[in-house]
Amino acid sequence: MTHSATPERDNVTEPLATGRALRLHAYGGADSLKVDTVHDPEPGPDQVLVQVKAAGINGMDWKVRQGHLRERFNLVLPATLGIEMSGIVLKVGSNIKDVSMGERVMAALGGLGAYADHLVINAEKLVKTPPNLSDIDAAALPVAAMTAWQVLKVPEFDLQGKRVLIHGAAGGVGSFAVQFAKAAGAVVYATASTKSVPHVQALGADEVIDYQNQKFELVANNIDLVVDLVGGPVVDKSWAILSPNGVLVSIAATDVVERSPEGRRGVWFSVKPDTARLASIAQQVADGILRSVIAEVVAFEDLAGAIERNRTGHTPGKTVADFTR
């Protein structure tokens, strides 16, 4: 019997493609996050494979890292963090008709996994990135812009002429919330640190309260909507300044309903997918109608450090990781 010098093709194993992923190995501090080499995933019939170009850093990152959100995210460790990204489509599933390879896209994941060179995502979550919007700017939008838009809709009343107070107005969500509330005709009060006051004033807030030198409860009163992006003691101090039918909506205090005094309405809020609205907002940012402020752009290797800086305080705007650096 003669043996072929060349192995049968069926016995050849193609090498698996790999990429980087920032993964949580144990709940804790910054050292619990490590950059690992992982195999690239394969998209299912209704999914696409995206090469991530940039990803936004959010407060949820360090809250997940420290174990504060274990009930919401039932994680099997190690787990890849990151909840929003922009990138380019590399592969499409067999059922996908309206997304093509090579298209630039952005998305809020509705879960974790954005801090990886490649990720698989359901096509329905994707928004096409406007041609005149960079990957860095696109990655800054999905969570912050959509949270700001939706949180102002929670009370279900017209904001025209209403008095709105936004706690934490200098951050990614707060910066958009100020602009959206002002565009809706509200009288906008906003709290910010001393160094961030000029930034929030430039966004259009009517009254910016320097919380490091002023007590907001002595400046604002008869507020129809308090938007809490901070949590902690500011929630308890805000009840007294609400108007009789006022509402306090928090994305930071999960126990806001339980903390609501009798006769006061507190609402816990989490963002929901709305790709049509995100596409509209992205185009407005691209056209210069809305202002998106990038505080810092970091390399992939500095993601863990950027997450920790988000926890301890940061400059106005949004921090974005540029995966191409």
Given the DSSP bridges, would you call strands 187-192 and 163-167 parallel, antiparallel or unpaired? parallel
pLDDT tens profile 267-310 = 998 888 899 999 999 999 999 999 998 999 999 999 999 999 98
Q: Distance of CA 270 to CAs 104, 111, 195, Å? A: 27, 12, 28
Task: Report the C-alpha gap between 321 and 315 in whole angstroms.
Answer: 15
Residues 91 and 186 in one domain: no
- Distance in angstroms (rounded) separating the CA atoms of residues 45 and 100: 14
Query: What pLDDT sits at residue 5?
Result: 41
Residues 194 and 128 in one domain: no
With respect to residue 283, please indicate whether it lies within any of the assigned structural domains: no
Residues 315 and 223 both lie in one domain: no
ω into 316 cis (within 30 of 0): no
Is the distance from CB of 219 to CB of 240 less than 8 angstroms?
no
Residues of the chain scoring pLDDT < 70: 1-16, 314
Residue 150 shares a structural domain with residue 259:
yes
Q: Phi, psi at residue 33, to the nearest 5°?
A: -105, 135
Which is it for strands 104-108 and 187-192: parallel, antiparallel or unpaired?
Answer: unpaired
Q: Is 169 helix (H, G, I), strand (E, B) or coil?
A: coil
Q: Are residues 188 and 125 part of one domain?
A: no
Q: CA of 124: how far to CAs of 34, 84, 121, 165, 225, in Å?
A: 30, 14, 8, 34, 32
155 & 225 share domain = yes
Q: Are residues 123 and 164 in the same domain?
A: no
Q: Are residues 105 and 92 in the same domain?
A: yes
In a domain, 29, yes or no: yes
Cβ-in-10-Å burial (0-12, 13-18, 19+) of 146 comes to: buried
Contacts of 64 (CB under 8 A, 6+ apart): 24, 73, 75, 81, 112
Same domain, 64 and 104: yes
Q: Evaluate whether residue 287 is within a structural domain.
A: no
84 and 51 share a domain? yes
The verdict on 249 and 152 lying in the same domain is: yes
What local confidence, expressed as pLDDT, does residue 16 receive?
A: 64
What is the Cα–Cα distance from 220 to 205, expressed in whole angstroms? 13
Query: How many domains does one find in the chain?
Result: 2
Q: Is residue 159 domain-shared with residue 241, that is, in the same domain?
A: yes
Backbone phi and psi for residue 223, each to the nearest 5 degrees, phi listed first:
-85, 130
Q: Is residue 103 part of a domain?
A: yes
CATH number at residue 301: 3.90.180.10
Task: Write out the residue range of the structural domain in which residue 36 sits.
Answer: 9-141+292-322
